[in-house]
């Protein structure tokens, strides 16, 4: 699968209120990620449903898996390290150097995503009103998403970068998020998308904020 291009840079509030194109990308991402997990993690079954109409009408999801099932959550920051190679407990991090920097990698060896997790990424949210970065680019394994200038985000309250298509970060694949850091300080940059979890106890029995393994 080719890496996606940019669809739009917009207010995060607009996305949360129901941005139709974003919703389509999210659901396509979710369906593809679940189908991949069903194939890779067989004989495990998905704890939820893949039928979007059932999800909307019955509020069913995969967030409470049982034995023999894999589950679904939003993307956890604990799967990633910040620019200082610290495991993240939230999307907030201290940007300690300016210029071109690696600001997020996977917590696995060599910056890879840990085994037992799959992540589908559909965009990013810049949650600070004044982002401290002006450009980003991403790399998954050997696939690269080119530089994106986000300076128009300075006109927004909070910014969402919505991709025209999703990409899948598979377990044990390398992940790098680069940025041009304009100034030092605390910033909040969140990945938007879906996460699948092969082992329920890694989320059900651990403390909030604990590093995922």
Domain 6-204: state its class. mainly beta
pTM value?
Answer: 0.84
User: How does DSSP classify residue 112?
Assistant: B
Q: Which long-range contacts (CB under 8 A, 24 or more apart) does 133-136 make?
A: 133/95, 133/103, 133/179, 133/180, 133/181, 133/182, 133/187, 133/189, 134/180, 134/182, 135/179, 135/180, 136/161, 136/177, 136/178, 136/179, 136/180
Give dist(CA 163, CA 140) in Å, integer: 15
Give dist(CA 163, CA 55) in Å, integer: 23
Q: Please state the domain extents for the chain.
A: 6-204
Per-residue pLDDT at 1: 41
Bridge partner list, 135: 149, 180
Per-residue pLDDT at 14: 59
> Is the Cβ–Cβ distance between 70 and 50 less than 8 Å?
no
Q: HSE (CB half, 13 Å, CA atoms) of 123?
A: 27
Question: Which residues 6+ apart lie within 8 Å of 93 measured at CB?
Answer: 82, 83, 84, 86, 103, 104, 186, 187, 188, 189
Q: Which two tokens stand for residue 124?
A: 């990013």
* Per-position pLDDT tens, the chain of length 213: 444 444 555 555 655 555 566 777 888 899 999 999 999 999 999 987 655 555 444 444 677 788 899 999 999 999 999 999 999 999 999 999 999 999 999 999 999 999 999 999 988 888 888 889 999 999 988 888 888 888 876 666 667 787 878 889 999 999 999 999 999 999 999 999 999 999 988 888 889 988 899
3 state SS of 16: helix
Per-residue pLDDT at 60: 47
Give dist(CA 202, CA 55) in Å, integer: 24
Per-residue pLDDT at 52: 52
Bridge partner list, 193: 121
Q: How many CB atoms lie within 10 A of CB 136?
A: 21
């Amino acid at each position: 699968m080719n890496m996606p291009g940019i669809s739009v840079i917009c207010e995060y509030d607009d996305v949360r209120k129901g941005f139709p194109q974003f919703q389509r990308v999210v659901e396509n991402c979710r369906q593809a990620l679940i189908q991949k997990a069903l194939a890779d993690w067989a004989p495990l079954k998905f704890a939820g449903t893949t039928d979007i109409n059932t999800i909307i009408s019955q509020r069913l999801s995969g967030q409470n898996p049982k034995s023999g099932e894999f589950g679904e959550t939003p993307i956890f920051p604990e799967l990633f390290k910040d620019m200082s190679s610290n495991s993240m407990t939230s999307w907030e991090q201290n940007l300690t150097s300016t210029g071109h920097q690696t600001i997020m990698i996977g917590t696995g060896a060599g910056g890879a995503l840990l085994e037992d997790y799959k992540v589908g990424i559909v965009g990013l949210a810049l949650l600070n009103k004044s982002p401290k970065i002006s450009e980003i680019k991403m790399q998954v394994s050997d696939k690269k998403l080119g530089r994106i200038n986000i300076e128009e985000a300075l006109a927004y309250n909070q910014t969402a970068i919505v991709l025209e298509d999703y990409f899948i970060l598979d377990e044990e694949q390398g992940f790098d998020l680069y940025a041009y850091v304009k100034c030092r300080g605390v910033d909040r940059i969140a990945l938007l998308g879906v996460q699948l979890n092969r082992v329920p106890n890694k989320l059900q029995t651990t403390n909030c904020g604990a590093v995922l393994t």
